[in-house]
A and B are shown apart, each in its own frame.
Chain A
Amino acid sequence: MEFAGFRSRLERLGGTVTSQVWRIGYASRFLAYLVLHSGTALRRFRLTVAQVYFAGVLSLVIILVSGLFVGMVLALQGYETLQRFGASESLGVLVALSLVRELGPVVAGLLFASRAGSAITAEIGLMKATEQISAMEMMAVDPIARVVAPRFWGGVISMPLLAALFSAAGIFGGYLVGVQLIGVDAGAFWSQMQAAVDVRNDILNGVIKSLVFGIAVTWISVFEGYDAIPTAEGVSRATTRTVVTSSLAILALDFVLTALMFTGGNH
């Protein structure tokens, strides 16, 4: 009895693991096909630009507002701590580095997944449910080249831009709270920031992170949409999966990338 129960649980675990591994393999083949069939999206670049608009511009407001608030909170918290060591002039450095290296790509990525990623999944899933994808195939047009690839590249292009804007808004928020509200010296705030933020170690690494997050989130979004069960319920579940999987992927990738980029105290 005991053993049978254990065995069936083990079998179920095995089944889940196998099907997840199979799914990752399937998603990878989907990505490879998508990249190989990106000719249309690149040749007729207007298709991709339209998707940059949808993914990027529509996420703009939430990115800017969130960035502003995150920067303001960073300044408040950072000032509390720095002041104890008599280093409150370094506030600009703290705000800028936190944003550029970490919070900009990660929080912008999470927002991007829930705003744009879910929209991409829902749109492609609904196109499938209403037979628009089949109709395209029947018109001898490859839906992966025509529908999926432009959305993928649009998302990949948008994400680093959004992360940069998030960081910029955050630094402005830090300035508002640190300099205007608390009264840290404006000259020290900016000049220390300029001196301490390194183009290669900080900015480039931040851009690489946001690019990787952009690829991961958009890949998950288009795959979940294209793979959705073509019913209302199937599409809603795929949308949820996009947000959950993307968020976990961002946090896990962030750890891996940070570990790889960790230079052992250049700063």
Chain B
Amino acid sequence: MPIVEIKNVSFGYDPARPVLRDINLAIAPGAVVGIMGQSGCGKTTLLRIIMGAYLPSRGEAHVLGRATSSLDTAALYEMRRRMGMLFQFGALFTDMSVYENVAFPLREHCRLPGSLEHDLVMLKLQAVGLRGAAHLMPTELSGGMARRVALARSIALDPQLILYDEPFTGLDPISFGVIVRLIRSLNDLLGATSIIVTHDVQEALDVVDYVYFMAGGRVIAEGRPDDIRSSPEPFVNQFVNGRPDGPVPFHYTAPAYAADLELA
């Protein structure tokens, strides 16, 4: 049975302007799945549907075995305890140290004796290679380190489902490689399922098992990374190869250039 199943989901923040149109996904346990597409095509919105922050206006989202529309606040929070989420820029709590950030979910949800909490936090920090940074404040971290701490925090409760929103944005190539490998290894180590939302298509294709390609609020292609690389769909082709002009035009819609220059 899929861990996440999105059935015919449509959604718009403003009912007049749909952002997601008739989306279907089924994500198998243990997989690392990519959701790719241009900025503004609705990827983050789809994640918000999966985490139950918004309910679909049509269709159903089944997450960890339950329809999000059937959950009250308590049940929703119960579901989220079994999920981890890595935000685009980490979203570390700026008034807490690295240690306290990773300890936060444990302190809020479990009553652990201090020594056990310490061991668990150190275990998570060790997994992302930052045990030595436990005492630092978030402002003292580089972008890549902050992302890794946030990753340690999001796996603090050993989630069954991990969501990543643009985990690669603004990273140098080394941090990039580190995060890519961590996503894969943590997924396999925890026996979790991961969903990566990203527009860094080339790189992400190397770690994922399956890809959904979105454009204009719809899924326009899906398949294994190799299928996507060789997809005949012109939009996917343009995106994967990063060509400036194609189905997505280089020029924003404008009156004829000659008319603008008053040549005509």
Contacts and interface: CB of A to CB of B under 8 A. Distances in A.
A142 B51 CA distance: 15
Interface string A210-231: 0000000000000000000000
The majority secondary structure among interface residues of chain A is helix
A98 interface: no
Contact of B94 (A130, A139, A140, A141): A130
B53 A132 contact: no
Contact of B91 (A132, A141, A142): A132
Interface string B70-81: 000000111011
A131 B108 contact: no
A87 to B, nearest CB: 53
Contacts of A146: 108
Interface residues of B, number: 21
Contacts of B105: 139, 141
B6 interface: no
A123 B95 CA distance: 10
Interface residues of A, number: 15
Given A130-B94, A140-B78, A140-B80, A135 B85 contact: yes
B97 interface: no
Contacts of B94: 126-127, 130, 132
Interface in B82-105: 83, 85, 87-89, 91-95, 104-105
A128 to B, nearest CB: 10
8 nearest A-B pairs in the assembled complex, by CB-CB distance: A140-B77, A135-B91, A131-B91, A140-B80, A138-B85, A131-B87, A140-B81, A141-B108
Given A127-B93, A134-B91, A140-B81, 5 more contacts: A134-B53, A135-B87, A139-B81, A139-B108, A140-B80
Interface of A: 123, 126-127, 130-132, 134-135, 137-142, 146
